Amino acid sequence: MKVPQLDLKAQYALLREEIEAAILRVLRSQKFILGEEVEGLEREIAAYTGSAHAVACASGTDALLLALMALDVGPGDEVITSPFTFFSTAGCIHRLGAKPVFVDIDPQTFDLNLNELPRRINSRTRAIVPVHLYGRLAPMAEILEMAAHCQVPVVEDAAQALGARSGGCMAGAFGAMGCYSFYPTKNLGGAGDGGLVVTSDARLAERMRRLRAHGSEGAYHHSEVGLNSRLDEIQAAVLRVKLGCLEGWNRARQEHAAAYTRALDGAVRTPAPAPGGSHVYHQYVIRTPDRGGLRRRLAERGVETAVYYPAPLHQQKCFAYLGHRAGDFPEAEAAAREVLALPIYPELTGEARDYVAGVVTEWAAVRAAPARFEHLRI
């Protein structure tokens, strides 16, 4: 059986008519930038996440950049984040001339280690950027409490977690600002790049609206230098169609994840339990010290997998100037060696999922077999 890691064509097949009609609507209007569709999407995501304001932009990366710019992050500042995340979380901090300060992760959840976090906060800290990695909500109550104590704003990197929630509050809506990505593979993915920031602070929202349009206050008058980072009308129209499906899609992901965990517990390290809707399983990530062996076996059996992420950020060449060494963030380094993302998407069939789980459990059983079965080892 062939099981892709993600199958966007299956999703498109279900929504083709609506998506194509939405795109046609924009083409016929000939309004492509910051029109009714973007306004509609901003309104709908603000309502969905329980935020007062939403500011759409060109990518999740730009969403983070705009949020940090709105806080005046710049040279001499430090911003705390995870070394085990997609590159842009730290890339945006660097691009503003500030220093990314890493805090190792909790090995169970991949979130910032709460014991280490307070030790990294100092007078230069301008923001804390927790990442809801793989779609799992970070421990926001604890992070917000520490941040409030030190009067440091929290910008959530919720790129992978739109729809995750706890105690009635959505990922992205806990901190001063929350940033989402609509990259096509995300739980809510566009037909190209896209991003959005939510906030309940009207002043921050207004500043980000200016910053996404070259810092202009009215045409051709610039109070500061911003970006050209607007969401296209076509993207917004597509995303509005898909937004209506997001809750159902996230539930389907949760059901697949629960079934995987039931089947795989004991065979490999499965994701830590996540109460309620606090995990939307953008990725279902297992861990094993022999990731290469398992990955090869899955590939032989037609199952596509992915590694998010094979190298932690403190070991990236571009951050060598930070002076980190191997061993500085041991949990992030171990995760980078061991994590493996199995196929998960709403349209995945139960049969395909059970087939994947079967390949994993069979591989694990052979590996665990006593030495007299050594010849059977992979």
Ligand X SMILES: Cc1ncc(COP(=O)(O)O)c(C=O)c1O
Query: What residues make contact with ligand X under the rule CB under 6 A?
Result: 59-61, 85-86, 88-89, 131, 157, 159-160, 181, 183, 193, 195
Residue 72 and residue 127 in contact, taking contact as beta carbons nearer than 8 Å: no
Comparison of 185 and 261: residue with beta carbon closer to ligand X: 185
Least distance between ligand X and beta carbon 302 (Å) = 26
Residue 79 and residue 128 in contact, taking contact as beta carbons nearer than 8 Å: yes
Comparison of 88 and 288: residue with beta carbon closer to ligand X: 88
Neighbouring residues of 309: CB distance < 8 A, sequence distance ≥ 6: 84, 85, 86, 336, 339
Comparison of 259 and 311: residue with beta carbon closer to ligand X: 311
As given in the structure block, the two tokens for residue 22 are 């939405």
Comparison of 65 and 264: residue with beta carbon closer to ligand X: 65
Least distance between ligand X and beta carbon 134 (Å) = 9
Rounded to whole angstroms, the Cα distance separating 67 from 95 reads 13
Rounded to whole angstroms, the Cα distance separating 226 from 236 reads 22
Comparison of 189 and 343: residue with beta carbon closer to ligand X: 189
CA 298, 301, 305, 311 torsion: positive or negative?
positive
Q: Is 323 left (phi over 0), alpha (psi -120 to 50) or beta?
A: left
Residue 240 and residue 48 in contact, taking contact as beta carbons nearer than 8 Å: no
Q: Is 214 left (phi over 0), alpha (psi -120 to 50) or beta?
A: left
Comparison of 61 and 254: residue with beta carbon closer to ligand X: 61
Least distance between ligand X and beta carbon 63 (Å) = 7
Q: Which residue is nearest to ligand X (CB)?
A: 60
